[in-house]
Amino acid sequence: MEHTRPSTFIFKDLALATHVFLRDDTVRRPQPPYTGPLAILQRRDKTLTLDVNGRKVSIDRVKPAYIENNEVDKKTTPPVTPATANTPPVVQTTPNNTGLMPYQSDTRVVKTRSVRCVRFRNILDI
């Protein structure tokens, strides 16, 4: 065993797999270590061509994806989301005729020693 060569592990099921997970070794913010499942387009002895712009990757960076046929169909068709889920909620405001802010009617403002404004509600005052 040499110290310069790291030992690699290659899955035996990789020869029969139709989809694989691709390991991402980039140094970035925390993210999942594998992307995919990605379809295999072409196989060679030491490389695979994946369905990511026809990229060739080493077999050391992939692991087989064990998926069912109906899950593959879900991945290829984009999910339909309702248009109302992306719209922000609409807040309706009514004009205030008194000129006071809503919190001023039932609160009193007290300044502390550190000159911070603290508001206490007047609910208990009858």
What are the sequence ranges of the domains in the chain? 12-77
Question: What DSSP character marks residue 90?
Answer: P
Architecture of the domain delimited by 12-77: Roll (2.30)
Token pair, residue 1, equals 């065993």
Q: What is the pLDDT of residue 25?
A: 79
Mean pLDDT of 20-37: 83
The number of residues in the chain equals 126
Summarize pLDDT for 55-94 with one digit per residue, the tens. Answer: 888 878 888 888 777 655 555 555 555 554 555 555 555 5
Please state the pTM of the whole predicted model.
0.46
Summarize pLDDT for 85-119 with one digit per residue, the tens. Answer: 555 555 555 554 555 455 555 567 788 888 888 87
Mean pLDDT of 31-40: 82
Helix ranges (DSSP H) in the chain: 69-76
Q: What is the pLDDT of residue 89?
A: 54
Are 21 and 61 in contact, with CB atoms under 8 Å apart?
A: no
